Amino acid sequence: MLRLAVVLVCFGAAIAGRGHLRDPHRHSDSFVVSEAANDPTYKYKTDWTEPIFPVDHFSYTRTETFKLKYLHNEDSYQPGGPIFFYAGNEGAIEGFATNTGIMFDLAPQFNASIVFAEHRYYGESMPFPNNASWAKISELGYLTSEQALADYAMFLPYYKEKYSFPNDTKVIVFGGSYGGMLATWFRLKYPTLTVGAWASSAPAIYFNGGGIDVGAFDAVVKRTYLSSGCDSETIDTAFQTITKLGQTVEGVEKLNTIFRIDENTVIGLPGDNYTATDLKLYIQQGFEYMAMTDYPYPTNFLEDMPGFPVKQACERLEPAVNTTDNDLLLYSLLDAVNVYYNYSGEVQTTCFDISKCYPSTIPLSGNPDGWDFQECTEVIIAMCALGPPNDFFDSICNATTFIDWQSNYCNKIYGTVGWNKDFIRLNAIRDMYGWDFTSASNIIFTNGILDPWSSAGVNENTPGISNANNRGIYNYRIASSAHHLDMRQPNTCDPPSVINLRFQVVEIFKCWLNPTSTACPFAQTELPEVLTSFNPQNCSYIFGQYPWGESIPTIPTTTPIQTTTHSVAAGTSIVPDTSTSIGMEAGTSVVTETANTPITYTIETTTHNAVAGTTIANLLAFCFAAFLAFVA
């Protein structure tokens, strides 16, 4: 039995080849860079480091080294500017550059350099040559987050030296999804290498002891569909109908016909290679991915989809609401899930296994199971669909049975290369990084509430998160936003919540880069709510338009106290034009009685609200305080 689709959701990073249906049980770790005409393109150079990275950073008995691929752009950099660094996650690095447009958009604002580093064992950054990285467990065992973070800790000094950045150049680390987890952990593990981290859609506490229910992910999937107009009973009934039909010969024939199942993955009875369970998992993954990427404008991040795909799926289910016609119900379900799998209508069949239906399109990266391996060792995310009323799907495990189920799955994949149950370290993430941020500083956590992964983001009960702006810790829940939408290129159809969030992030960055500013620490404000009627049209990407219609805040500015002593002639009159700190009212005077009396004038510290760049001298009113000392 192949694996439950939801556990294979690579936090939105795994992209299949275009023009065919995705295997719901197995992901590809190779990104396909978007080629859609309306998608933004970004300028960067592709380079490789020297082979300086140890295969094992934490022992002295393996001396092998390898090189990393990275993408970079220094066009906006000016001396004194920072480095924007993306901590690559579970895929080829080009895909993350394509989908993290905010780094390119903000670089000119900050005179920043941009660099994306590829995660070991993904894309082309292989520790061992000729696919040997995947041949046996002794080589595969160096695929860990801890080793990847150590790579990045070596990479930043390398990058600075190679491109002649000053050693003290400040770095802000970005990451979305697993990359957001890496950005968070990098800030915790190597705090001196960066001044801050922006972690978008990072399920940083979805681990044993993190307090997240195993069914939380799919509970949010259901919530997103219901808030978009779907009828829960209709979807529940459709899944129940598939289950029932999958028990008989006549039933599976109907399923094969209605869902146009490819001849290479024909549904059979329980015990056959493919069953009704595979069909349900296929539909489940489509529903989950649509919820994750429920963006307000058309994208092809995972598949070619329209704006707000969940809403469109719900509209396609409307004809089946309250129906007793099973055929209509199932045709409507197929129509709905094809918003994800086949929005163009060009795909003729439904396929459960691309290796069988489209063998020529299987990625040649040599690393098809990288994320799965991490889930079988250190990144143990305890999640299962629990079935109604929690979600729409079948329940195949729960909090008690998850580890046994996970072990069986991992053994089927990696048993032949030497994996065993002892390789699962249930508390590895807790022990290496944890989720107590009481001593942490300068991390922005952002989660869109449409995104199922938001269920596992930090929350007000996470230690060190609440009331922590004074330490540079910020936590935002973004209305009408999906999986790291906030890190994508700004678009005319972005909801007000996302626009305001990005604006606040810029203000936080300013404080991280100039912490002595009187505007710091930045005080987080509530993001705008988004009306249910929000339905943008005619969407297009926008570039370099900060502050995106938001009002730049006034900055409290303080003039330092200045004290000057002068000697004046007898009879000189001191008349302040404002009240002084010693009680003199404006317009009153003090007359000296002795020649050359030392008089001290104190310019008081005065705070004003000023837009950045305003000349302070034009704003300050000077108050004079006089003290007369008589000379004998």
pLDDT in tens, 527-547: 999 887 788 889 999 999 999
Query: Is residue 39 very low, low, confident or very high in pLDDT (cuts 50, 70, 90)?
Result: confident
Number of domains in the chain: 1
pLDDT, residue 107, reads: 98
Asked, for residue 231, whether it belongs to a domain, the answer is no
Q: Token pair of 254, please?
A: 């109907």
> Among 203-212, 516-525, 610-619, whose mean pLDDT is lowest?
610-619
Q: Does the active-site annotation cover 369?
A: no
- Of the candidates 476, 472, 474, the one whose C-alpha atom is nearest the C-alpha of residue 447 is 476
How far are the Cα atoms of 244, 248, 330, 342, 380 from residue 280, in angstroms, in the given order?
Answer: 12, 16, 12, 17, 24
Q: Which residue has better confidence, 258 or 608? A: 258
Asked, for residue 78, whether it belongs to a domain, the answer is no
pLDDT, residue 391, reads: 97
Q: Does the active-site annotation cover 483?
A: yes
- Spot the catalytic one: 28, 30, 145, 177: 177
Average pLDDT in the 557-581 region?
51
User: pLDDT tens digit string along 212-240?
Assistant: 999 999 999 999 999 999 999 999 999 99
Asked, for residue 91, whether it belongs to a domain, the answer is no
pLDDT, residue 352, reads: 84
- Spot the catalytic one: 29, 451, 486, 494: 451
For residue 294, which amino acid is it? D
**555-558 and 473-478 beta bridge pairing:** unpaired
pLDDT, residue 569, reads: 56
121: left (phi over 0), alpha (psi -120 to 50) or beta: left
Maximum average pLDDT range among 30-44, 467-481, 525-539: 467-481
Place of tokens 């439904």: 350
> Among 9-13, 34-38, 443-447, 483-487, whose mean pLDDT is lowest?
9-13
Query: In angstroms, rounded to a whole number, what is the distance separating the alpha carbons of residues 233 and 112?
Result: 51
Asked, for residue 248, whether it belongs to a domain, the answer is no
Q: Which residue has better confidence, 440 or 610? A: 440
Query: If you average pLDDT over every residue of the chain, what do you get?
Result: 84
pLDDT, residue 589, reads: 47
pLDDT, residue 543, reads: 95
pLDDT, residue 225, reads: 97
Q: Does the active-site annotation cover 105?
A: no
| Percent of the chain's residues with pLDDT above 90 | 69
pLDDT, residue 562, reads: 54
Query: Is residue 90 very low, low, confident or very high in pLDDT (cuts 50, 70, 90)?
Result: very high
Pinpoint the alpha helices (H) of 191-307: 216-227, 232-245, 249-258, 276-292
Asked, for residue 563, whether it belongs to a domain, the answer is yes
pTM, entire model: 0.82
- Spot the catalytic one: 483, 484, 486, 497: 483
Asked, for residue 20, whether it belongs to a domain, the answer is no
User: pLDDT tens digit string along 370-381?
Assistant: 888 999 999 999
Asked, for residue 551, whether it belongs to a domain, the answer is no
pLDDT, residue 473, reads: 98
Domain ranges, residue 611: 557-618
pLDDT, residue 506, reads: 98
Asked, for residue 575, whether it belongs to a domain, the answer is yes
Query: In angstroms, rounded to a whole number, what is the distance separating the alpha carbons of residues 206 and 100?
Result: 23
